[in-house]
Structure 1
Protein backbone atom coordinates (compact mmCIF):
# COMPACT_ATOMS: atom_id res chain seq x y z
CA UNK A 1 0.00 0.00 0.00
CA UNK A 2 2.72 2.50 0.88
CA UNK A 3 2.45 5.88 2.54
CA UNK A 4 3.81 8.84 0.65
CA UNK A 5 4.05 11.80 3.02
CA UNK A 6 5.16 15.34 2.18
CA UNK A 7 5.41 18.58 4.14
CA UNK A 8 5.18 22.15 2.84
CA UNK A 9 5.85 24.82 5.46
CA UNK A 10 6.54 28.54 5.71
CA UNK A 11 7.14 31.28 8.23
CA UNK A 12 7.50 30.31 11.88
CA UNK A 13 6.52 26.71 11.07
CA UNK A 14 9.09 26.17 8.29
CA UNK A 15 11.24 23.16 8.96
CA UNK A 16 14.94 22.71 8.56
CA UNK A 17 15.23 18.93 8.36
CA UNK A 18 17.96 17.39 6.26
CA UNK A 19 16.93 17.24 2.62
CA UNK A 20 14.50 20.15 2.92
CA UNK A 21 14.23 22.14 -0.31
CA UNK A 22 13.60 25.90 -0.29
CA UNK A 23 11.40 27.72 -2.82
CA UNK A 24 10.67 31.45 -3.11
CA UNK A 25 7.07 32.33 -2.28
CA UNK A 26 5.10 35.45 -3.04
CA UNK A 27 3.33 35.61 0.33
CA UNK A 28 6.25 34.81 2.63
CA UNK A 29 9.55 36.62 2.85
CA UNK A 30 11.41 33.45 3.87
CA UNK A 31 9.87 31.28 1.17
CA UNK A 32 8.50 27.76 1.52
CA UNK A 33 10.37 24.71 2.71
CA UNK A 34 9.42 21.32 1.29
CA UNK A 35 10.19 17.90 2.72
CA UNK A 36 9.51 15.29 0.06
CA UNK A 37 10.98 12.46 -1.94
CA UNK A 38 10.84 12.86 -5.71
CA UNK A 39 8.35 10.24 -6.90
CA UNK A 40 5.11 10.70 -8.75
CA UNK A 41 3.18 9.71 -5.64
CA UNK A 42 4.98 12.29 -3.51
CA UNK A 43 4.52 14.99 -6.15
CA UNK A 44 0.77 14.38 -6.29
CA UNK A 45 0.59 14.86 -2.53
CA UNK A 46 2.91 17.86 -2.71
CA UNK A 47 0.56 19.54 -5.18
CA UNK A 48 -2.17 19.22 -2.57
CA UNK A 49 0.01 20.49 0.29
CA UNK A 50 1.40 23.37 -1.75
CA UNK A 51 -2.02 24.48 -2.93
CA UNK A 52 -3.42 24.41 0.59
CA UNK A 53 -0.44 26.37 1.93
CA UNK A 54 -0.85 29.03 -0.78
CA UNK A 55 -4.56 29.29 -0.12
CA UNK A 56 -4.05 29.70 3.63
CA UNK A 57 -2.11 32.88 2.89
CA UNK A 58 -4.57 34.06 0.21
CA UNK A 59 -7.69 33.42 2.29
CA UNK A 60 -6.06 34.84 5.44
CA UNK A 61 -5.54 38.10 3.58
CA UNK A 62 -9.19 38.07 2.45
CA UNK A 63 -10.46 37.31 5.97
CA UNK A 64 -8.00 39.70 7.70
CA UNK A 65 -6.40 36.85 9.67
CA UNK A 66 -2.74 37.19 10.61
CA UNK A 67 -0.59 34.21 9.65
CA UNK A 68 2.96 33.90 10.99
CA UNK A 69 3.52 30.37 9.81
CA UNK A 70 1.85 27.44 8.06
CA UNK A 71 2.72 23.74 7.95
CA UNK A 72 0.76 21.39 5.70
CA UNK A 73 1.34 17.65 5.78
CA UNK A 74 -0.24 15.57 3.02
CA UNK A 75 -0.08 11.82 2.74
CA UNK A 76 -1.81 8.86 1.27
CA UNK A 77 -1.29 5.47 -0.19
CA UNK A 78 -1.36 3.73 -3.52
CA UNK A 79 -2.27 0.20 -4.45
CA UNK A 80 1.21 -1.06 -5.34
CA UNK A 81 -0.11 -3.35 -8.09
CA UNK A 82 -2.34 -0.87 -9.94
CA UNK A 83 -0.83 2.41 -8.61
CA UNK A 84 -4.32 3.75 -8.01
CA UNK A 85 -4.46 6.29 -5.21
CA UNK A 86 -6.18 5.19 -2.04
CA UNK A 87 -6.86 8.85 -1.25
CA UNK A 88 -5.09 11.88 0.16
CA UNK A 89 -5.37 13.31 3.66
CA UNK A 90 -3.86 16.57 4.82
CA UNK A 91 -3.42 18.42 8.08
CA UNK A 92 -2.75 22.12 8.52
CA UNK A 93 -1.06 23.92 11.39
CA UNK A 94 -1.34 27.71 11.46
CA UNK A 95 0.63 30.01 13.75
CA UNK A 96 -1.09 33.33 14.33
CA UNK A 97 -2.55 35.54 17.02
CA UNK A 98 -6.19 35.19 15.97
CA UNK A 99 -8.73 33.20 17.96
CA UNK A 100 -9.17 29.45 17.44
CA UNK A 101 -12.60 30.17 15.94
CA UNK A 102 -11.09 32.56 13.37
CA UNK A 103 -8.41 30.03 12.47
CA UNK A 104 -11.06 27.29 12.09
CA UNK A 105 -13.05 29.59 9.80
CA UNK A 106 -9.90 30.22 7.76
CA UNK A 107 -9.20 26.51 7.36
CA UNK A 108 -12.81 25.78 6.40
CA UNK A 109 -12.62 28.49 3.73
CA UNK A 110 -9.34 27.06 2.44
CA UNK A 111 -10.76 23.53 2.24
CA UNK A 112 -13.68 24.76 0.17
CA UNK A 113 -11.64 26.83 -2.33
CA UNK A 114 -8.27 25.06 -2.68
CA UNK A 115 -8.03 24.32 -6.38
CA UNK A 116 -5.89 21.17 -6.42
CA UNK A 117 -7.88 19.29 -3.75
CA UNK A 118 -11.08 20.32 -5.55
CA UNK A 119 -9.74 19.05 -8.89
CA UNK A 120 -8.63 15.74 -7.38
CA UNK A 121 -11.97 15.29 -5.59
CA UNK A 122 -13.84 15.91 -8.84
CA UNK A 123 -11.56 13.75 -10.96
CA UNK A 124 -10.02 14.91 -14.19
CA UNK A 125 -9.01 13.22 -17.39
CA UNK A 126 -5.28 12.99 -18.00
CA UNK A 127 -4.16 12.31 -21.53
CA UNK A 128 -0.74 12.03 -23.15
CA UNK A 129 -0.35 14.21 -26.20
CA UNK A 130 1.83 12.89 -28.97
CA UNK A 131 5.13 14.69 -29.36
CA UNK A 132 7.63 14.61 -32.19
CA UNK A 133 9.36 11.69 -30.53
CA UNK A 134 6.20 9.61 -30.20
Structure 2
Protein backbone atom coordinates (compact mmCIF):
# COMPACT_ATOMS: atom_id res chain seq x y z
CA UNK A 1 0.00 0.00 0.00
CA UNK A 2 1.06 3.57 -0.59
CA UNK A 3 1.32 6.25 2.07
CA UNK A 4 -1.57 5.85 4.53
CA UNK A 5 -3.06 3.23 2.19
CA UNK A 6 -6.32 1.40 2.78
CA UNK A 7 -8.15 -1.39 0.94
CA UNK A 8 -11.87 -2.15 0.99
CA UNK A 9 -13.14 -5.23 -0.83
CA UNK A 10 -16.37 -7.08 -1.50
CA UNK A 11 -17.61 -10.04 -3.47
CA UNK A 12 -14.91 -12.07 -5.20
CA UNK A 13 -12.23 -9.60 -4.01
CA UNK A 14 -12.98 -9.99 -0.27
CA UNK A 15 -9.77 -10.32 1.70
CA UNK A 16 -8.94 -13.55 3.48
CA UNK A 17 -6.16 -11.91 5.52
CA UNK A 18 -6.44 -12.70 9.22
CA UNK A 19 -6.20 -9.03 10.19
CA UNK A 20 -8.86 -7.83 7.72
CA UNK A 21 -11.89 -6.40 9.47
CA UNK A 22 -15.26 -7.68 8.25
CA UNK A 23 -18.43 -5.61 8.15
CA UNK A 24 -21.97 -6.39 7.00
CA UNK A 25 -22.91 -4.62 3.78
CA UNK A 26 -26.34 -3.78 2.43
CA UNK A 27 -25.54 -4.77 -1.19
CA UNK A 28 -23.47 -7.92 -0.66
CA UNK A 29 -24.53 -10.97 1.35
CA UNK A 30 -20.93 -11.75 2.45
CA UNK A 31 -20.17 -8.19 3.56
CA UNK A 32 -17.00 -6.20 3.01
CA UNK A 33 -13.44 -6.49 4.26
CA UNK A 34 -11.28 -3.56 5.32
CA UNK A 35 -7.50 -3.53 5.52
CA UNK A 36 -6.27 -0.39 7.25
CA UNK A 37 -4.31 0.95 10.15
CA UNK A 38 -6.29 3.00 12.65
CA UNK A 39 -4.96 6.55 12.34
CA UNK A 40 -6.79 9.72 11.36
CA UNK A 41 -5.01 9.75 7.99
CA UNK A 42 -6.04 6.16 7.26
CA UNK A 43 -9.63 6.82 8.35
CA UNK A 44 -9.94 9.78 5.97
CA UNK A 45 -8.79 7.57 3.10
CA UNK A 46 -11.05 4.76 4.30
CA UNK A 47 -14.07 7.09 4.16
CA UNK A 48 -13.34 7.87 0.51
CA UNK A 49 -12.66 4.24 -0.45
CA UNK A 50 -15.71 2.90 1.40
CA UNK A 51 -17.98 5.46 -0.23
CA UNK A 52 -16.68 4.57 -3.69
CA UNK A 53 -17.22 0.84 -3.04
CA UNK A 54 -20.79 1.48 -1.85
CA UNK A 55 -21.55 3.67 -4.84
CA UNK A 56 -20.20 1.08 -7.28
CA UNK A 57 -22.85 -1.33 -6.04
CA UNK A 58 -25.61 1.30 -5.85
CA UNK A 59 -24.99 2.74 -9.31
CA UNK A 60 -24.44 -0.70 -10.86
CA UNK A 61 -27.82 -1.78 -9.51
CA UNK A 62 -29.48 1.32 -10.96
CA UNK A 63 -27.78 0.77 -14.33
CA UNK A 64 -28.47 -2.98 -14.40
CA UNK A 65 -24.76 -3.93 -14.33
CA UNK A 66 -23.81 -7.17 -12.56
CA UNK A 67 -20.86 -6.79 -10.19
CA UNK A 68 -19.14 -9.91 -8.87
CA UNK A 69 -16.37 -8.17 -6.95
CA UNK A 70 -14.94 -4.75 -6.11
CA UNK A 71 -11.63 -3.72 -4.57
CA UNK A 72 -10.95 -0.06 -3.84
CA UNK A 73 -7.57 1.18 -2.68
CA UNK A 74 -7.03 4.73 -1.49
CA UNK A 75 -3.89 6.49 -0.35
CA UNK A 76 -2.31 9.87 -0.12
CA UNK A 77 0.03 11.98 1.93
CA UNK A 78 -0.06 14.95 4.27
CA UNK A 79 2.06 18.03 4.83
CA UNK A 80 3.56 17.06 8.19
CA UNK A 81 3.85 20.69 9.32
CA UNK A 82 0.15 21.50 8.85
CA UNK A 83 -1.32 18.00 8.42
CA UNK A 84 -3.21 19.27 5.39
CA UNK A 85 -3.89 16.49 2.91
CA UNK A 86 -1.84 16.65 -0.27
CA UNK A 87 -4.60 14.71 -2.02
CA UNK A 88 -6.15 11.27 -2.18
CA UNK A 89 -5.80 8.82 -5.04
CA UNK A 90 -8.18 5.89 -5.34
CA UNK A 91 -8.15 2.93 -7.68
CA UNK A 92 -10.98 0.51 -8.37
CA UNK A 93 -10.74 -3.09 -9.55
CA UNK A 94 -13.98 -4.63 -10.80
CA UNK A 95 -14.94 -8.19 -11.57
CA UNK A 96 -17.99 -8.26 -13.83
CA UNK A 97 -19.20 -9.93 -17.02
CA UNK A 98 -20.20 -6.48 -18.35
CA UNK A 99 -18.26 -5.05 -21.31
CA UNK A 100 -15.35 -2.70 -20.51
CA UNK A 101 -17.21 0.25 -22.07
CA UNK A 102 -20.17 -0.27 -19.74
CA UNK A 103 -17.87 -0.55 -16.72
CA UNK A 104 -16.14 2.66 -17.80
CA UNK A 105 -19.48 4.47 -17.84
CA UNK A 106 -20.28 3.03 -14.42
CA UNK A 107 -16.99 4.29 -12.99
CA UNK A 108 -17.47 7.74 -14.55
CA UNK A 109 -20.85 7.93 -12.85
CA UNK A 110 -19.47 6.72 -9.50
CA UNK A 111 -16.68 9.32 -9.62
CA UNK A 112 -19.31 11.98 -10.29
CA UNK A 113 -21.76 11.04 -7.53
CA UNK A 114 -19.67 9.52 -4.69
CA UNK A 115 -20.56 11.71 -1.73
CA UNK A 116 -17.41 11.54 0.40
CA UNK A 117 -14.97 12.23 -2.44
CA UNK A 118 -17.24 15.09 -3.53
CA UNK A 119 -17.26 16.54 0.00
CA UNK A 120 -13.48 16.26 0.29
CA UNK A 121 -13.00 17.89 -3.13
CA UNK A 122 -15.30 20.76 -2.13
CA UNK A 123 -13.73 21.27 1.28
CA UNK A 124 -15.61 21.42 4.53
CA UNK A 125 -15.52 23.30 7.77
CA UNK A 126 -14.88 21.06 10.75
CA UNK A 127 -15.41 22.54 14.17
CA UNK A 128 -15.80 21.37 17.70
CA UNK A 129 -19.34 21.90 18.99
Shorter-chain TM band: over 0.9
Residue number in structure 1 paired with 2:105: 105
Residue number in structure 2 paired with 1:132: none
- Greater Cα offset, 77-86 or 19-28: 77-86
Residue number in structure 2 paired with 1:95: 95
Residue number in structure 2 paired with 1:54: 54
> What is the aligned-residue RMSD (CA, Å)?
1.0
Residue number in structure 1 paired with 2:27: 27
Per-residue CA deviations over 1:37-69 (Å, capped at 9, x if unaligned) read 000000000000000000000000011000000
Q: Is residue 3–residue 78 contact of structure 1 (8 Å, CA) maintained in 2?
A: no
Residue number in structure 1 paired with 2:119: 119
Q: Is residue 56–residue 107 contact of structure 1 (8 Å, CA) maintained in 2?
A: yes
Q: For this pair of structures, how many residues does the alignment match?
A: 128
Residue number in structure 1 paired with 2:15: 15
Per-residue CA deviations over 1:59-85 (Å, capped at 9, x if unaligned) read 000110000000000000011221110
Residue number in structure 2 paired with 1:45: 45
Scaled by the length of structure 1, what TM-score is found?
A: 0.93
For the pair shown, which has the larger CA radius of gyration, 1 or 2?
1
* Aligned counterparts of 1:110 and 1:9: Cα–Cα separation in 2: 16
SS at match of 1:71: strand
- Greater Cα offset, 54-63 or 77-86: 77-86
